[in-house]
Structure formats: C-alpha cells, structure tokens
C-alpha cells in the first residue's frame, strides 16, 4: 500500500496480510515483547472531528511501535481555510512520516493523498471508515469465522462505516445484506464496486428479513456527526430498525453483535443487546489498536521482527 484512503483500494491478499500482521503484533504486545520498529518515526494526526477510539488507538499504537504522534485539531491548522489542503500535505511531508486524517469531506483525504509524498491514512471521512472495517473483519477472523461462509446483516443507516464494512467484506467473499429505510441506502457506487470485487450484497427495507439466519448483526448510530439537524427526522425514519432482543432472535443462535461505537443506547441498540453475551463491541474496539498498528507498519515499511 502507498495510502489507505478507501477500503476498496485494498486487495484480498493485502487484507489477509494485515490480519496476519495484526495477529502477530497483538500477540507480541500481550507477551511483553516491546520492540521499536518505528523508532524515530512520527505521525501527524489531523482531526476535524472529535474522537475517543480513533485518537487513542492511533496515538498509543504508534507509541507501542516506538514512534510518536503529533495531534493537530482542525481549528489549529484551519484545513482548507487558513491553509489549503495541498499546502498542508506538502508541508507535513517535509516533517513527518505519515498523515492520519479524520475529516468531514472525503475529498479532503483524497487531496491530502494526491499532494503528500508520504502515506495518508483515512481515519474517517463522511464517505468511508476503512480502519474501522479492517478491525471489524479482523475481529471476526480472529474468532474463527470464515468470511466466505459468513452472512453479515447491517441494520440501520447505510453510512460511511457501512460502506467500508461492505467493501472489505466483498474482498473477503462475504455475503451481506443491508436493511435501511428508503433514502438511507448505501451509495450505489459502493454497492457496484463491492459486487465487482466479488461480494454478495443485497439491500432491503425489512430488518427482520435481513436478520434472519445472520451470523453477524451490525448497527451504528442513526445520526452521525454533522447530521445533528436531521436528528428528529432520522429517529422517526429508523424507529423500526432498532437492534433489540426481538430482532436478535431472528439471527442464528450463535450470532454475534457488532457496533463501531459510540452507541446511542436506547436508539439504534438496547442495553440488553449491547452489553449482552453476544456482543463483541469491546473486541472490535481493542482490535482497532492492533489493526491500525499493522496498517502503519505496512505503510511505513517497518519489520515485525523489530516489534
């Protein structure tokens, strides 16, 4: 990889290699093997949006690899206002080894990647969240699920996380069904790309039909950052798409529950399901750390033998 802007830029082989690398890094860390393959290397973290998991896992991840991170809020650098995105990319390329960008417009990440001479990682845009999707499928893979034999049901908004989950799932040969109200479907370009990549993707308005026989049920907030003015409208539109015990009952008895967090408890998911025995949301959260370390190490050409 040169950049990680979209999950669709990856190949199946690259995804599986990241899983293997993340497994190795996770095991080494838990065993207390503290190498420093990125000693002297640095990341710039550009964050236009607030964050818990993404900021902590990238900052801690690069430190665990022996490097350091420099946090830059959107207000500090005025991305695209005080200074143009290409100028920011060109300047950072002279100082740091990679850029991690959590932004509103996907075009911002694209522009950073076009003008930077160092790797750029999409840590969330309004169109995709590839780091989340890599960690999610890594979590299922670590639990022994064969993606090619897995039916994943996405319940709710066909948003940026949904886009990346569908694209990585397609690369791995998974069968996926997205249940959402009319007007909130995943972008047609993403669906078309997923199908070209070999994925089996279906869209329905029927949440129960999507959940029936599913191995995995995945949901996300109904109102994402930047959509606050649509909250009332969205709550009404998604009222029949709550992931609760009734809906979970249509899935396989062994079905797992996923949520990328933060959760709006009592809206898209109930406490009983989020905190229940089938929930693997904290595994997903933990694996963001190790999956992103694998991405960083791959992009910067570090060796796991030094980790």
CA distance 302 to 65: 9
What is the total residue count of the chain? 307
Q: What is d(CA 201, CA 193) in angstroms, rounded to the nearest whole number?
A: 10
Active-site entry in 3, 53, 55, 102: 102
End-to-end Cα separation, the chain, in angstroms: 20
Is 132 assigned a catalytic role? yes
User: Is 189 known to be catalytic?
Assistant: no
* Given the residues 64, 132, 242, 292, the one annotated as active site: 132
Choosing from 110, 136, 220, 298, the catalytic residue is 220
To the query of whether residue 272 is one of the catalytic residues in this protein, the response is no
CB half-sphere exposure, 66, CA atoms < 13 A: 17
Q: Is 220 annotated in the active site?
A: yes
Q: Is 23 left (phi over 0), alpha (psi -120 to 50) or beta?
A: alpha
The phi, psi pair for 24, rounded to 5°, reads -65, -45
- Is residue 129 part of the annotated active site? The answer reads yes
Q: Would you call 234 a catalytic residue per the annotation? A: no
Interatomic CA distance for residues 112 and 85, integer angstroms: 6
Among 129, 151, 234, 290, the active-site one is 129
Task: List the catalytic residue out of 3, 41, 260, 290.
Answer: 260
What is the crossing angle of helices 160-171 and 12-30, to 10°? 100
Which string of b and e fits 273-290 if b means at least 16 CB within 10 Å? Answer: bbeeeebbbebbbbbbbb
Q: Which of 53, 151, 234, 288 is catalytic?
A: 288
> Looking at the annotation, which residues are catalytic?
102, 129, 132, 220, 260, 288
């Amino acid at each position: 990889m040169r950049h990680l802007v979209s999950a669709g830029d990856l190949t199946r082989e690259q995804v599986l290699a990241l899983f293997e690398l993340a497994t190795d890094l996770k095991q080494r860390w838990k065993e207390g093997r503290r190498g420093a393959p990125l000693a002297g290397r640095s990341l710039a973290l550009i964050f236009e949006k607030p964050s818990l998991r993404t900021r902590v896992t990238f900052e801690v991840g690069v430190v665990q690899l022996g490097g350091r991170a420099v946090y830059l809020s959107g207000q500090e650098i005025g991305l695209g206002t005080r200074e143009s995105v290409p100028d920011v990319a060109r300047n950072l390329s002279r100082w740091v080894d990679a850029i991690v960008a959590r932004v509103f417009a996907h075009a911002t990440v694209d522009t950073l990647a076009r003008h930077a001479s160092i790797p750029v990682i999409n840590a969330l845009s309004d169109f995709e969240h590839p780091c989340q999707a890599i960690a999610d499928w890594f979590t299922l893979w670590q639990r022994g699920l064969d993606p090619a034999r897995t039916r994943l049901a996405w319940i709710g908004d066909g948003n940026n996380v949904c886009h990346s989950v569908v694209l990585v799932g397609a690369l791995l040969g998974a069968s996926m069904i997205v249940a959402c109200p009319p007007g909130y479907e995943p972008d047609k370009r993403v669906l078309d790309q997923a199908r070209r990549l070999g994925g089996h993707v279906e869209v329905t308005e029927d949440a129960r039909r999507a959940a029936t026989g599913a191995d995995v049920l995945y949901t996300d907030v109904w109102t994402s950052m930047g959509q606050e003015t649509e909250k009332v409208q969205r709550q009404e539109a998604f009222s029949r798409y709550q992931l609760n015990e009734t809906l979970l009952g249509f899935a396989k008895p062994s079905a797992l529950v996923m949520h990328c967090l933060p959760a709006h408890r009592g809206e898209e998911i109930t406490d009983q399901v989020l905190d229940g025995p089938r929930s693997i949301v904290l595994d997903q959260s933990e694996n963001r750390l190790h999956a992103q370390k694998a991405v960083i190490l791959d992009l910067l050409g570090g060796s796991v033998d030094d980790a």
